[in-house]
Amino acid sequence: MAAIAAAILPGLKQGDRVVAGHDLYGKTAALLRGPLAALGVQTQFLDLTDDAAAEQALREPAAVVVVESIANPRLRVPDIARLAVLAHGAGGRLVVDNTFATPYHCRPLALGADVVVHSGTKYFGGHSDVTIGALVADAAFVGLARATLSTFGASASPFDCWLTARGIKTLALRMERASANAQRVAEFLLKQPEVLRVEYPGLAGHEHHARAAAQFERGFGAMVTFELRGGEAAASRFVRGLQRIRFAPSLADVSTTLSHPAKTSHRGYSAAQREALGISGGLIRLSVGIEHEADITADLCTGLARASAAS
Ligand SMILES: *Cc1c(COP(=O)(O)O)cnc(C)c1O
């Protein structure tokens, strides 16, 4: 969140306008809705994967446009090159949170974005043992971000920096394995009768598959979302029935973990907002790890058998 604040704050002043994806990470939305709104910076939230809506919103000036290259939990994908052109036309900068895709799959600066941020707590560290962020931009913007961070005192500890530098050495290897596993897990889930739908950008049926294939390299990331038949009750039986895959508030560990967005990351939303975002009680978001693929699918089978069993 320090990196995100340092990407958004520089240069913003009272009366400026921000345009943001409606499915941003909760605290990013909270930063825009809370402190920034109180200081006189208004944010328009909308579906930035909708090209026509994005174009309409960016006909008026905007100082900052904020989007995620793969958004949680529906794994929807915006057209970064297009948004960069629109943001620049509106006189602003495009900030891309690239946490889920990582630089292994997506390089937003090469697509025209101005600032890229990562929660290094996730894939850069890769072992769920650090809290850190990263910001990538040209030297002039990095100078502004640095000044912002030192003024607000948001800095990572030396030990977390060291763990992250070590984690990054295996980023490509971990991503290669995890996203290959995720592709197979998504295809496996697609065939299970207990599963209503699977959302993974690597599946031909995903609404943004073509866009993701054009914009990403070497695969589609390691997050896989699916909806169980039987809603929240089935999701609860599924989670309790798993033997290896753990329920975790974070993601991107070397081990496969899962989250139940309706009850965790998106519990603060109203039922109507969750419905608008397509987040039902039966929705599960897997963060696929680097284990042997058969160990992941075997555990999913155990959970699915429980999910469909009468309680
Ligand atoms: C976790 C996460 C964040 C926040 O990162 P912290 O390291 O917890 O501050 C921001 N954006 C995305 C997409 C995330 O998944």
Separation of alpha carbons 176 and 221, rounded Å: 9
- Give the per-residue pLDDT at 266: 87
Nearest CA to ligand 1 atom 2: 119
Query: What is the atom index within ligand 1 of the atom nearest the CA of 68?
Result: 13
Burial class (CB in 10 A: 0-12, 13-18, 19+), 144: middle
Instruction: Please list every protein residue whose CB sits less than 6 Å from any atom of ligand 1.
Output: 1, 25, 68, 97, 99, 119, 121-122, 131, 133
Q: For the chain, give percent helix, strand, coil, nearest 5.
A: 45, 15, 40
Tokens of 278: 């397509």
Please tell me the residue having the least CA distance from ligand 1 atom 11. 25
The alpha carbon of 119 and the centre of ligand 1 are apart by a number of angstroms equal to 5
**222, 126 contact by CB (below 8 A):** no
Read off the tokens for 184: 């197979």
**Cα–Cα distance for residue pair 153/143, rounded to 1 Å:** 15
Phi and psi dihedrals of 201, rounded to 5? Answer: -60, -20
| pLDDT confidence of residue 58 | 98
Q: Report pLDDT for 270.
A: 87
Beta-ladder partners of 228: 195
| Pocket residue to mutate for ligand 1, from 67, 95, 99, 116, most atoms within 8 A of Cβ | 99
Residue 33 has what pLDDT? 97
Per-residue pLDDT of the chain (311 residues; tens, 9 = 90+): 999 999 999 999 999 999 999 999 999 999 999 999 999 999 999 999 999 999 999 999 999 999 999 999 999 999 999 999 999 999 999 999 999 999 999 999 999 999 999 999 999 999 999 999 999 999 999 999 999 999 999 999 999 999 999 999 999 999 999 999 999 999 999 999 999 999 999 999 999 999 999 999 999 999 999 999 999 999 999 999 999 999 998 999 999 999 999 988 888 888 888 888 899 999 999 999 999 999 999 999 999 999 998 65
Residue 119, CA distances (Å) to 9, 77, 94, 125, 300 in order: 17, 18, 17, 9, 27
Structure tokens at 76: 């929807």
What confidence score (pLDDT) does residue 310 get? 65
